[in-house]
Amino acid sequence: MDLVVISVGGSIIAPDGVNTEFLKSFKNAISAYLEEDESRRLILVCGGGSVARTYQNAYKAVCQKASASQADWLGIRATHINGELVKAVFGDYCRNDLVTDPTASFTFDGRILVAGGWHPGFSSDEDAVLLARRFGSKLVINLSNISQVYSDDPRKNPDAVPFEHISWDAFRKIVGDGWVPGKNTPFDPIASKEAQEAGIKVICSDGRNIANTMSILKGQRFFGTTIG
């Protein structure tokens, strides 16, 4: 795999303040991966996670008639600050500016391209799919704080069943078709529709397990859920 798109959840970049230990380990592992083969390149799309939800919840608490569009913009700005941090961490590997519009004209001439959210109506997962389509990648690795996709929320339903593999049709029945700002799903419903139409496979796994992420990148056995 020469080019892979990785959606890095805000929940692991900054779950409660910036997770510097994760960023250090992630930087070291990704740098080693790139140095093994100079043809390898990555697109890292950063989510807003808890940072986004903190501001969205504050807005909704203050304003009785909160605008869904404005709540989305708060989440988008959170992805930008997370993205700028990740871009800074990877230094010389990132030659280009943070991508905030996956459909715009921009240059990717480094080893890593970092992106954030774009506009209201979907999450950064959608940006990951759009960038995968643009650069011809058929794989998006979705890293969050959950290890697998379940048939239901396991925190609420003890009978929820984990999947190693699930079709797009079955997955979309679980997450639905609509987007709500701050909605916490394994993969955004709008992005799921786009990925299915484009024939893109998504692997969901716990991004805090960096050795597992490296196994995915290297085509080795891993723990997670493959969608598609």
CB 21 within 8 A of CB 48: no
Per-residue pLDDT, averaged over 63-84, amounts to 93
Evaluated on CA atoms 201, 39, 46, 116, the torsion sign reads: negative
Two structure tokens written together for 168: 């797009």
Two structure tokens written together for 125: 């997962």
**For residues 82 and 157, which has the higher predicted lDDT (pLDDT)?**
82
pLDDT at 16 over 70: yes
Q: Which of 3, 8, 21 is nearest to 213 (CA)?
A: 8
CATH for 3-227? 3.40.1160.10
pLDDT classification of 13: cutoffs 50, 70, 90? very high
pLDDT in tens, 164-198: 999 999 999 988 877 665 556 788 898 999 999 99
Per-residue pLDDT, averaged over 60-78, amounts to 92
pLDDT at 35: 96
Q: What is the DSSP string of 138-202?
A: -EEEEEES-SSEESS-TTT-TT--EESEE-HHHHHHHH-S---TT---SS-HHHHHHHHHHT-EE
**Domain limits, the chain:** 3-227
**This prediction's pTM:** 0.92
